[in-house]
Every structure is written in structure tokens, then in C-alpha cells.
Amino acid sequence: MEQAIKNIHQRFTKLYIVALSAVALLSVVGQVLIQIALNEQSTDATVVNLAGRQRMLSQRICKNALLLTYKIKPENKQKQHKELAKSILSWKQVHLGLQSNYLDSVGAKTANSVATVNLFKIIEPHFIAIYESANWLIDTTYAPTNNEGIAKLDTILAHERAFLEGMNNIVFQYDKEAREHVATLKNIELLLLCLTLLILIIEGLLIFRPAVKKLKQTMQQLIASETNANAINHELNLANINLKKTELELIKATNERHEQQMSEQKIRASSLLKGQESERKRIAREMHDGIGQMLTALKLNIESISALQLDYRNKILLEDIRQLVGKTIAETRTIAFDLMPTVLNDFGIVSALKQLADQATRSSGAVVSFAGGNTFDRLDKHVEIGLYRIAQEAINNAVKYAQAKEITISLSLKGNYLYLTISDDGKGFDLKKIFSNLAEKKFNRGIHNMQERTNLLDGEFKLTSAEGKGTKILSKIPVKYQQI
């Protein structure tokens, strides 16, 4: 019995493989032909479009050349001069591309027929005449309106109509050849369809019909053993149900453990950041109240020293000490502000971001601006500190790594979410390359810090950048107001 089933299986397997291979082969061939035709159709459409555009460009060249030869304002002549140079360059590139069967501007290859090549030969003298005359106007500063300029204009106008008619013929020829390609594809597809249907009919008569008869005989033999198989399947189903139940319980326990670990990790990270912020606040207060006060007293003592009784060398030395103490006080204030700005605790995140933008503008050389911001109640202090640190890190990256000249900070409230956006006009970067480049390790750490702070506030972090197109950072955070 088993040997008979095995023989039947082998026989029908071979027949099915042959039948399905024939259908698959026809399907693959049809798909390849369709893809080739689609590519050719796309190329044909591009070529027809560019060929039609040549007519528009030739008319624009005539218009600009005509305007250059009239007495108009110098600034307008300069504009017309630039437009003519731009039009003639594009016109020439497309013309040469169509003739050479490759269009650099769109990266498309063409295959000109003999008829198309002959049509290009007909318009070639007109193209050269228009091109040389227009180039003369371009090479002559603001195209004087003398007799020679008028003669060049007449040459352009004389050849423009013939060029347009020739380009019309070329466009029609391209369109005709495109329709011929489509007609050829339709014939091939129809032939493949007929072959496929024929193969399916043959398969039905020689393979599937005998197979049905043989299967009926085999099914009668298999029904006898079905009862025993059902009993075995019932036992297997019970075992499978128990196995799935155990599997679900294991997955549930694993998920709960994973969630617990993530929650514990989030709590540890949050506690660490809170400790860092507390330490920042303490150091900033000590610098302001301790070192800052001592430096201020030192500055007052130095300023109280009379320079009248000192010689020239000591006067210079005293002035250097005064400047050094002043710079030290300013640097101390900057460090204290970076550690924990008092305006953040006193007036909230909006005022703190405005002050951060002003200070970054003064210290970095870049123009940092704060674009608006909703008027809302004081936020939870952890939310305000998190938003401030994200903006601070983003500005530091933009100035230090992206060499940005303009940076914009935006904070807005929409529904139950805060949107903090920091965008710059820096050199940008490739997101894939930047994370694989060991030289950018510090930069990656800054991105990681911003993302981690956003996650700790139950928010969403998004980074958008491209080489030469700047960078945009967005943190979407649920609103949490300060408890009174």
C-alpha cells in the first residue's frame, strides 16, 4: 500500500513539475517582456516630453534674444541675458542628448531609428545657426542693439520656424515609434496567452483527468485507515492544546519579566538623571554663591588699586589682571548657567529657552532664535529640565559638529502633547553612516542622551537629517503640569 502510494506520488509529482514549469516559464517570459516594455514606454514618454520641450525652449530663446536687442533698462537686460544663457544651455544639452541616444539630465537611454536620425540631420543647420547667434548675444555683455546684434536676431528668427517644424516631425516620429512598441507588446502578450491556454488544456486532458481517476481509487484505500488516524489525531490535538497552553503561560511570564526589567531600568535611569540634576544645581549654586562672590570681591579690590602710583609696566600688568578676572567671572557665570539656569526654576521653560538662545548666540557665533511658544502654566520640573537639556544638547551638536549658522528652537502645545523642535542649517549627515563611524562617538552619545531623556518622559523622539540639508530634532512629550 505504502509503495503504491509512493509510486503514485512520484509519478504525479513529475507530471505536475513539468506542467507547472511550462506555465511558470511562460509567466516569467511574459513578465520580463512586460517589464522591458514598461521601461521602454517610460523612456519613450520621457524622450517625447523632452523633444516637445525643445520647441518651448527655442521659442524662449527667440523671446529673450528679441528683448535683448531693444532699449530696456540695464537691470532688465541683465536678467534677460541670464535667462538666455540658461535657456540655450539646457536647449543644447537636450539636443545633443537626443542625438547621442543618452540624456544626462534624466539618465535615460534612447535608440534613434534611421528616420529619426535623418530628421535630426534636417534641423541640424537651423540648430547651429540659432545656437551660434544666441551664443554671440550671450558673449556680448548685455547684447548691444547695434546692427550686428540686429543681424544675429534676424538669423535666430529666420531659422526658428524651420527648427520648430523639424522638432514637430521628430516628436511625431518618437510618438509613432512608441505606439509601435505598444502594438508589438500586445501581439506578444496575446501569443503568450494563447500558448498558456493551450498548455492548460493539454494538462487538463493528459495530467489532471487521469490524476482524478487515480486519486479516487487511492482515496478509497485511504478511507479505511482514516478512523485510526482520527483517533491518533485526537490524542495529538489534546497534547497540542496542553503544549500551547504551557507556551502561552511561558510567554506571559517572559513578557512580565521583561516589562519589569524595563521598568526597573527606567527607574534607575530616571533616578540617575535626577541625581545628576541635583548635583548640577548644587555645584551651580556653590559656584554662584561661593566662587562667584569671591571673584566679584577680588575684582572690586583690584579696581580699588590706584594706578597713579604704579609705573608703566605695573599699570599694564594691573589692567591684564582686571581683564582676566572679568573673563573668569563671565566664564564662571556661563558654567553655572549651563549647569542649572536660575531662570528655569524661577520663570519656566519658555523663558529658559529664550535665554539659552540668547546666550548661545553670544558664545557660539551662530544665530540661535526661539520661535514663539504657547502661553501655558508651569510644567512639572522634571519635564522642564528634560526639555531644556534636550535643547541644550541639540544646540551643542549643531554648533560643534554640524557647523550650523542658524538654529531655531520651537516649543508648542497641541492637545495633550508638547512639541520641542530644534532645526539647523548645518552640514547634516547620513543617519546610517553616522552611527557606524567611530569618529562620531561623542556625537552619537549626544543623540542617545536626547533620546533617553525623551523616553524617560514617556515621549517620542524623531531625528531627521541628510548630508548638506541640515538637521531637525523633534521631541513629543505628554503634558505634565506642576503640582501646586
- What does the alpha-carbon distance between residue 270 and residue 455 come to, in Å, rounded to a whole number? 10
Give the model's pLDDT for residue 296: 67
Task: For residue 371, name the pLDDT band (cuts at 50, 70, 90).
Answer: confident
Residue 102 identity: Y
Mutual orientation of helices 226-286 and 441-456 as an angle, nearest 10°? Answer: 100
Q: What is the pTM of this model?
A: 0.40
Exposed e or buried b per residue across 378-394, where buried means at least 16 C-beta atoms within 10 angstroms of its C-beta:
ebebbbbbbbbbbbbbb
User: Which residues, other chains included, contact 242 with Cβ-Cβ below 8 Å and sequence gap of 6+?
Assistant: none
- What's the rounded mean pLDDT across residues 363-374? 79
Q: Which of 79-88, 272-281, 294-303 comes out lowest in average pLDDT? A: 272-281
Confidence of residue 439 (pLDDT cuts 50, 70, 90): very low
What is the Cα–Cα distance from 168 to 165, expressed in whole angstroms?
A: 5
pLDDT of 270 above 60:
no
Inform me whether the pLDDT recorded for 350 exceeds 50.
yes
DSSP 176-240: HHHHHHHHHHHHHHHHHHHHHHHHHHHHIIIIIHHHHHHHHHHHHHHHHTHHHHHHHHHHHHHHH
Strands 406-414 and 367-370: parallel
Q: 195 and 27 in contact (C-beta within 8 Å)?
A: no
Name the CA radius of gyration of the chain, rounded.
Answer: 40
Q: Is pLDDT at 88 greater than 80 in this prediction?
A: yes
CB half-sphere exposure, 388, CA atoms < 13 A: 27
In tens, the pLDDT along 416-426 reads 888 989 999 98
Least confident of 98-112, 168-182, 268-282: 268-282
Cell of 104: 544626462
Domains and CATH numbers, the chain: 2-217 (1.20.1330), 346-478 (3.30.565.10)
pLDDT single digits (tens) 387-399: 888 988 888 888 8
Q: Cα–Cα distance between 155 and 197 in angstroms, integer?
A: 63
> In 3D, which of 435, 439, 406 has the Cα closest to residue 423?
406
Q: Rounded CA gap, 280 and 406, in Å?
A: 28
The mean pLDDT of the chain is 76
Least Cα distance to 287 among 342, 321, 335, 222 occurs for 335
- DSSP H or E stretch at residue 367: strand 367-370
Q: By C-alpha distance, which of 5, 2, 19 is closest to 214?
A: 5
DSSP sequence for 295-340: HHHHHHHHHHS-STTS-HHHHHHHHHHHHHHHHHHHHHHHHHHHH-
Highest mean pLDDT among 143-147, 299-303, 330-334, 402-406 belongs to 402-406
143 vs 81: CA distance, rounded Å: 8
Q: What is the amino acid identity at position 45? A: A
Q: SS3 of 410, please?
A: strand
Among the listed residues 237, 161, 211, 480, the one whose alpha carbon sits nearest the alpha carbon of residue 349:
480
Contact 427, 468 (CB under 8 A): yes
What's the one-letter identity of residue 363? S
What is the tens place of the pLDDT at every residue in 192-220?
A: 788 888 887 887 777 767 766 776 777 77
Q: From residue 252, how far is each of 242, 244, 246, 258, 259 by CA, in Å?
A: 15, 12, 10, 10, 10
- CA 38 – CA 185 distance, rounded (Å): 10
**Looking at residue 450, what is its pLDDT?**
87
Examine the pLDDT at 479 and tell me if it is beyond 80. yes
Q: How many residues does the chain have?
A: 484
